[in-house]
Structure formats: C-alpha cells, structure tokens
Structure 1
Amino acid sequence: MTKADLVNKISEKTGMEKNDVQAVIELFMKEIKEAMEQGNEVFLRGFGSFIIKRRAQKTGRNISQNTTITIPAHNIPAFKPAKVFVEAIKEKVPAK
C-alpha cells in the first residue's frame, strides 16, 4: 500500500476531502520525523513504537579495493510493532 492508497482509503471511509487527508498524513509523518530527530521516541499504543536504535562501531570491508574500513557508531530509526498488532497479523495473514 502506498501513501496515495492510504489517502484514498481514509478519504472514502471518513468522507473527508483527499487533500485534507493527505495534509493530515503528511503532518503526522513530519511530527514523527521531527520528534525522532530530537532524540525522542514515538509510542502509539496498540499500533507500535518508532524507536532509535544505536549501532556500535564495527569493521567492514571495501571489496572493490580489498581494504578494511571502520564503520562509525550511528543511530538508525526503527519501528517496533505493538504486541496486539503482531498477534493480529499472525492470526489473519497466512504463512507463505
């Protein structure tokens, strides 16, 4: 599902204009991004959490030059689904 698909579904279900729905979704994503850029995590009860994961420094290889490089420690954004969300997916989506 794309953002446009999400906008269409919400617009159909709520009767809101697509432009208004898109503005709300854009603002929602912007607020999550800004909160995480400030080092805060975002918790949406029953849905999941947008968290910041810390990656430790590690040694890697540049295979084209056959050299060892050091990859510095860094933070990455991650999503951790809520337990009820995970359980719902396990029950409703068949295994492939």
Structure 2
Amino acid sequence: MNRVILIKSVSEKTQIPQAKVEACLNAILESVNEALNKGDKVTLNRFGTFYVKDYPERKVMMPKTKELTLIKAKSVAKFKPTTGFIKQKK
C-alpha cells in the first residue's frame, strides 16, 4: 500500500473527502517528524512507537582492500510495532 491508496482507503471508510484526509495525514507525519527531531519518542497505543537511534562514529575494514575506513556518526528513525499488531498466520 502506498500513500495514495492509504488516503483513498481512509476516505472511503470515513466518508471524508480525500483532500481532507491527505491534509490530516500530512499534519500527522509532520508532527511525528518534529517530535523525532527534538529527540522525543512518539507512541501510538495499539500501533507502535517511533524513536531515534543514534549510531556513533566507527572504523570498519573494507573486505576487498583491507583498508580501515571511518563511518560518520548518524541518527536513524526507527519504528517498533506493538506486540500483537500483526495477526500471526495459523
């Protein structure tokens, strides 16, 4: 499912015009992005938690050249679904 299909699906289920659904989705994503950039977690009950994981600077050896290379520190957005969020197949 992509963004367009999600907006259409929500619009059909709620009888809200697609333009309003898209505006709401944009506001939600913007709010999540702002919170993550501040270093906050975003927890949605019965869905999951968005958070930021920081990776420190590190040295790695390139397999082909055996040369040490420096990988810069970075922050990555992560998502952890709530337990039982996806129904398991029997």
Judge same fold: TM > 0.5, yes or no. Answer: yes
SS in 2 for 1:49: strand
Q: Aligned equivalents of 1:49 and 1:15: distance in 2?
A: 28
User: Identity across aligned pairs (percent)?
Assistant: 26
Structure 1 residue ranges, 4+ long, deviating more than 3 angstroms after superposition: 60-64
* Alpha-carbon distance, 1:68 to partner: 2.6
Q: Aligned equivalents of 1:84 and 1:47: distance in 2?
A: 9
Are 2:38 and 1:54 equivalent residues in the alignment? no
2:37 maps to a residue whose letter is E
TM-score, structure 2 as length reference? 0.85
TM-score, structure 1 as length reference? 0.80
Equivalent position of 2:69 in the other structure: 69
Task: Report which stretch shifted further, 29-38 or 50-59.
Answer: 50-59
The number of equivalent residue pairs is 89
CA-to-aligned-CA distance 1:6-59 (integer Å, 9 cap, x gap): 000010011101000000001100100011011111000110000111213222
Equivalent position of 1:2 in the other structure: 2
**Cα RMSD (Å) of the superposition?**
2.0
